[in-house]
Amino acid sequence: MGRVIGFELNSQEPKKAADFYSKVFAWEIAEPRWDYWAVTTGASEKNGINGGIGKGPSDYPHGIRLQIEVDSMDESIAKAMDNGANIVREKMEFDDFYLAYLVDPTGLGFALIQNKK
């Protein structure tokens, strides 16, 4: 089962967006890594999710995407495509995880994340 584990806010001015959310909602914003600012939205004992703010790529310059953690990136991509999704960004490898971006049949963007174990 895929579980929503975070969000991404895409902006062409991510530093300005990070400053805004920090000031308005008191979100803790980490130092940027890969043009991505990790966000902690509140205390861990309260319900909610954390996420990040990044510079939106040309194919998704503004908007919000959910991050869904999966056990198998390849199986999840295949199943999503079989059900009408399109791949926006193929599976990418990072130090601790794999990441891919897709769009569902209605046009909503989402990210798949598979942690390396």
Which of the listed CATH numbers 3.40.50.20, 3.10.180.10, 1.10.510.10, 3.30.70.3400 matches domain 70-117? 3.10.180.10
pLDDT of amino acid 69: 95
What is the identity of the amino acid at 111?
Answer: A
CB 10 within 8 A of CB 3: no
Closest to 46 measured CA to CA, from 26, 66, 70, 21: 26
CATH architecture of 6-61: Roll (3.10)
CB 67 within 8 A of CB 113: yes
Mean pLDDT, the chain, integer: 93
Residue 57's CB: how many other CB atoms inside 10 A?
A: 12
Residues 72-91: what's their mean pLDDT? 96
pLDDT in tens, 9-25: 999 999 999 999 999 99
Statement: residue 44 has pLDDT above 90: no
Statement: residue 28 has pLDDT above 90: yes
Q: With 0.95 as the threshold, say if the pTM is over it.
A: no
pLDDT of amino acid 61: 84
Residues 56-68: what's their mean pLDDT? 88
Within the chain, which residue ranges are assigned CATH 3.10.180.10? 6-61, 70-117
Q: What percent of the chain has pLDDT over 90?
A: 79
Residues 88-115: what's their mean pLDDT? 94
Q: Residues 106, 109, 114, CA angle at the centre, nearest 5°?
A: 125
